[in-house]
Structure 1
């Protein structure tokens, strides 16, 4: 599912928006991120920025919790959808490598399945610049270079990350890593098989986006188990890396 929100036709955005409500991959990732956002507990006076806001799901969720949230995207269709469906929310067109915000102006940055499309050093330096002292960064990136497939190429990915590479990039930018974990450990064999088979039959990768409802329900339950166990032990690998970092140690 990595990179799914970066195909920006209006029809594709609507499809992704529906998937965010029910698809096992999105629901599991959202559970991790929501637990971190609850932990951070921004005050109503603080601002949050969602870089690469896509359908606007995170902007909407933050706003529902009383946080002043802003969505930023480089492409107009995503912002048009945000304004059409959520006219009270703020959206800005801009480049993650040159953020149109002054230094130390936001308390939280979300960058979910975006960094792999960019000059990651420049994007993280920009995130550091605009965060307030003690500000938070939440990242999600595709993991395990060996999973590279036609899906990555279609999504415009430049790389898939190892834990060591993501740690290095964050530390180079000056961030203190609070939590760095893999996601999709229990389903990793299925994903690896799908990506390998997809090299020969690309249509098979569509199964990831449109699983039958019974299979989706079963996988959702399995991910809830993974998340519960993951609170106590670190998973050694997974198809996604999630990071919680701070502009302070």
Structure 2
């Protein structure tokens, strides 16, 4: 066990709470799927939900890094059932990667907000990204929506476009940066200002996933993805000839 992870245990419970949010998973995954290559590094693998959601093709390699040993053990127990071909779970974080490990895709799916020094984190990840590869971030949006729930599950912040642009490592270019789930943003704002709940109920999650997310798929297009409770950021590492990948 890496010394810096001794006795680490994730204190949040949103992984279990949002496990059944199938429409939301289908929505965000449809946005990033074109940029997911064949050799994937996933930071904060959790219980393997992201790998299962993106299990649409065989991968040469999918390495999930997870700092919680118990979660790693849970994922290993279900390996080979609904996990991608080429999937491997490893106990650790980006600091535990070998210097020569390289990937064409790096994923932070609802993870970067949990990391205190997000700028240093992206710098480390960038060093493991091949030329032409993509670093993909999906995260909660807008600090004005920061709530007791965010605090409870260990979020250091929520992001807007300016915040993400400010921490992009120098070698990377911003290929896509936009918001998702405009209807859900209104619900989050209502909770922040009125309900002030530190934990959504299963009924609220079902309502959001079954109705609001579906409505957002239409409204997000109409608003040009300028509003949303989540933000998507696709960063690209230029090829050595200076061209972008197709």
Structure 1 CA distance for aligned equivalents of residues 18 and 208 of structure 2 = 19
- The residue that corresponds to 2:160 in the other structure is 162
Alignment check: 8 A CA contact 1:179 1:244 kept: yes
Question: Is 2:70 the counterpart of 1:77?
Answer: yes
Within the candidate set 220, 224, 245, 2:235 is matched to 245
**1:91 aligned counterpart, secondary structure:** strand
Aligned equivalent of 2:25: 26
User: 1:52-80 CA distances to partner (integer Å, 9 max, x unpaired)?
Assistant: 11121222344540112111111112211
Structure 2 unpaired stretches of 5+ = 1-9, 239-243
Partner of 2:48: 56
* CA distance 1:140–1:214, shift in 2 (3 Å): closer
Alignment size in residue pairs: 223
List per-residue Cα deviations over 1:39-97 (Å, max 9, x = no partner). Answer: 2363xxx410111111212223445401121111111122112111124731011123x
- Residue in structure 1 matching 2:217, options 224, 237, 245: 224
Q: Displacement, 1:16?
A: 4.1
For 1:203-214, list aligned pairs within 5 A. 205-207=199-201, 209-211=202-204
Q: Following the alignment from structure 1 to structure 2, what is the Cα–Cα distance between the partners of residues 219 and 132?
A: 37
Deviation for aligned residue 1:29 = 2.1
Within-5 A mapping of 1:143-222: 143-170=141-168, 172-199=169-196, 202=197, 205-207=199-201, 209-211=202-204, 216-222=209-215
The corresponding residue for 1:3 is none
Q: What TM-score do you get using the length of structure 1 for normalisation?
A: 0.78
Question: Match of 1:186, SS?
Answer: helix
Which of residues 118, 139, 146 is equivalent to 1:141? 139
Contact 1:13 1:78 in 2 (8 A): no
RMSD between superposed Cα atoms in Å:
2.6
Change (3 A) 1:63 1:184: closer
Call closer, same or farther: CA 1:100–1:223 in 2, change over 3 Å.
same
Q: Does structure 1 residue 234 correspond to structure 2 residue 224?
A: yes
**Alpha-carbon distance in structure 2 between the residues aligned to 1:160 and 1:41:** 24
Cα 1:62–1:218 shift into 2, 3 Å: closer
Alignment map for 1:105-120 (pairs within 5 Å): 105-118=102-115, 119-120=117-118
Counterpart Cα distance in 2 of 1:194 and 1:15: 17
Task: Work out whether residues 136 and 244 of structure 1, in 8 Å CA contact, stay in contact via their aligned partners in 2.
Answer: yes
Counterparts of 1:27 and 1:64, CA distance in 2: 12
Aligned equivalents of 2:121, 2:153: Cα separation in 1: 18
CA contact (8 A) 1:59 1:70 kept: no
Q: 1:213 to 1:186 in 2, by over 3 A?
A: closer
- 99-108 or 189-198, which moves further after superposition? 99-108
